[in-house]
A and B are shown apart, each in its own frame.
Chain A
Amino acid sequence: MNLLNQVKFLIRKEIVLEWRSKYAFNGILLYVVSTVFVCFLAFKSIQPITWNALFWIIMLFASVNAITKSFVQENRGRQLYYYTIASPQAIIISKIIYNILLMLLLSVIALAFYSLVFKNPVGDPLFYFISVLLGSISFATVFTMISGIASKAHNSGALMAILSFPVIIPLLIVLIKLSKNAMDGLDRSVSMDEIGVLGGINVIVIAVSLILFPYLWRE
């Protein structure tokens, strides 16, 4: 089996597994919705700048929780089995793509619910939406590799937060700036720098993940 087939096969496996249980996705969805609701009850009315920051904080915690599972949920026996049938590159690529799909779906639902509960004028809704999609892709690429690293340690839940937050902060800074520009309805050409940096970081992270994952996998 070549790499492309392996990746396709593994992604289908992830989706089928998720579809059968629907445990992870529903859990995370409920997590996001209840967090938004808690924030709504706590804040009531909100400044635009806080609105934006709060949304990204909710997304940050939701995505950490969603992606931590991607390696932890699989037991050693099953991992050994994958090791015999697929190349490590195929495994990390399939995990990244699956997490991107999961995060895209999650962020769309979260954004819809969040703007339903908190009414806030957004200057350029389409561009804001694009920045949210870019953000969810970036979260997925960074957290996939880190969850792989954290899953090797004992206390992986706490470790995941410690390891991932400093790494995600630069992305988060750029994302908040990008979405703030969209919120203020600035001209789209202003934000091209940010999109370039986001794309650059994502490419670097995926490349480094591809190189490093075989070492992480070997045990």
Chain B
Amino acid sequence: MTKNWWKIIASVLVLYSIIGGLLIEVPSLPILHESIRNLYFHVPMWFTMIILYLVSVIYSIKYLSSGNENDDLLAVESVNAGIIFGFLGLLTGMIWANYTWGDPWPNDPKLNSAAISTLMYMAYLVLRNSLEEEQKRARISAIYNIFAFPVMIVLLFILPRMTDSLHPGNGGNPGFGGYDLDDNMRWVFYPACLGWIMLGVWIATLRYRIRKLENSQLDS
């Protein structure tokens, strides 16, 4: 119980954000209308993805300095979980874009960047599959992971800010927090982010533990 308290908090927060996100009053804005509720689901997916990729890079660095097989397993399972959240982020974004911008895939730099960074992490998984020897696979994929991370940061946070974008907070647009987020929404949005991030980490650790069990079965 002492170890699992944060999992309970994660479930409660996610449940609260779903129920609260659908029921609590939101400001009625032009174009957005009720679809503004998607903010509680779309944005936390990206935060979770970034956090999971960050965890993965940290464990890749740890692997290179320690050579501990478990660090490598944690790195790859974080990427696996991160990719799921990346796809969910794309999916929720496409639904939202379809109703507010009139097109599920408008030519928006942030969208393209997100898709490319997902490709990058899928390339990481392909690279892992192409290497058979375990230690070599761990080391080389860790190197690629660390190499790709700064490029992903440029892709997601710098390039979209340089051009016109439909997303708030990019290309000179005001950020979402500036105008549209009222206090009611903050009470749902921040817990939602926290809850989804913890849920993502939980998924990654579960997958890591399954992999570790499989490996120990193979050894015995």
- Report A's interface with B, CB cutoff 8 A: 145-146, 149, 152-155, 159, 162-163, 165-167, 169-170, 173-174, 177, 193-194, 197, 200-201, 204-205, 208-209, 212, 215-216, 219
Determine whether the beta carbon of B131 is less than 8 Å from that of A197: no
Determine whether the beta carbon of A149 is less than 8 Å from that of B144: yes
B12 interface residue per 8 A CB criterion: no
Chain B residues numbered 134-183 whose CB sits less than 8 Å from any CB in chain A: 136, 139-140, 142-144, 146-148, 150-151, 154-155, 158-159, 162-163
Query: In the bound complex, how far is the Cα of B131 from the Cα of A200, in angstroms?
Result: 32
- CB neighbours of B217 from chain A (8 A): none
- CB neighbours of B150 from chain A (8 A): 204-205, 208
Q: Which chain B residue has the least Cβ–Cβ distance from A177?
A: B163
Query: In the bound complex, how far is the Cα of B150 from the Cα of A146, in angstroms?
Result: 14
Q: Which chain A residue has the least Cβ–Cβ distance from B149?
A: A208
Determine whether the beta carbon of B119 is less than 8 Å from that of A166: yes
- Which of A154, A193, A194 meets B130, CB within 8 Å? A154
Determine whether the beta carbon of B143 is less than 8 Å from that of A201: no
27 residue pairs bridging A and B, Cβ less than 8 Å apart = A146-B144, A149-B144, A152-B136, A152-B140, A153-B131, A155-B130, A159-B127, A159-B130, A162-B126, A163-B127, A166-B116, A166-B117, A166-B120, A166-B151, A170-B113, A170-B116, A170-B159, A173-B159, A174-B159, A194-B162, A205-B147, A205-B151, A208-B146, A208-B150, A212-B147, A215-B142, A216-B143
Determine whether the beta carbon of A163 is less than 8 Å from that of B123: yes
- Which of A167, A174, A204 meets B120, CB within 8 Å? A167
The total number of A-B Cβ pairs within 8 Å is 83
- CB neighbours of A208 from chain B (8 A): 146-147, 150
Q: Which chain B residue has the least Cβ–Cβ distance from A166?
A: B120
Query: In the bound complex, how far is the Cα of B132 from the Cα of A144, in angstroms?
Result: 23
B64 interface residue per 8 A CB criterion: yes
Query: In the bound complex, how far is the Cα of B126 from the Cα of A215, in angstroms?
Result: 20
Closest A-B pairs by Cβ, 8 of them: A166-B120, A166-B119, A153-B130, A170-B155, A162-B123, A212-B143, A204-B150, A169-B116
Query: In the bound complex, how far is the Cα of B153 from the Cα of A201, in angstroms?
Result: 11
Query: In the bound complex, how far is the Cα of B62 from the Cα of A104, in angstroms?
Result: 37
Secondary structure of the B side of the interface? helix
- CB neighbours of B146 from chain A (8 A): 208, 212
Secondary structure of the A side of the interface? helix
- CB neighbours of A163 from chain B (8 A): 123, 127, 144
Query: In the bound complex, how far is the Cα of B140 from the Cα of A201, in angstroms?
Result: 22
Query: In the bound complex, how far is the Cα of B136 from the Cα of A165, in angstroms?
Result: 23
- Which of B117, B120, B130, B151 meets A201, CB within 8 Å? B151
Determine whether the beta carbon of A167 is less than 8 Å from that of B127: no
Q: Which chain A residue has the least Cβ–Cβ distance from B140?
A: A152
Query: In the bound complex, how far is the Cα of B142 from the Cα of A215, in angstroms?
Result: 10
Contacts A163-B123, A167-B120; is A197 near B151 (CB within 8 Å)?
no
Q: Which chain A residue has the least Cβ–Cβ distance from B154?
A: A170
Known: A166-B123, A170-B113. 14 other contacts (CB 8 A): A145-B147, A146-B144, A149-B143, A152-B140, A159-B126, A163-B127, A166-B148, A167-B147, A169-B116, A170-B151, A170-B154, A200-B154, A201-B151, A205-B151
- Which of B131, B151, B162 meets A152, CB within 8 Å? B131
B82 to chain A, nearest CB (A): 15
- CB neighbours of B120 from chain A (8 A): 166-167
Determine whether the beta carbon of B126 is less than 8 Å from that of A197: no
- CB neighbours of B151 from chain A (8 A): 166-167, 170, 201, 205
- CB neighbours of A162 from chain B (8 A): 123, 126-127
- CB neighbours of B127 from chain A (8 A): 149, 153, 159, 162-163
Chain B residues numbered 98-140 whose CB sits less than 8 Å from any CB in chain A: 109, 113, 116-117, 119-120, 123, 126-127, 130-132, 136, 139-140
B61 to chain A, nearest CB (A): 10
- CB neighbours of B154 from chain A (8 A): 170, 197, 200-201, 204
Q: Which chain B residue has the least Cβ–Cβ distance from A173?
A: B159
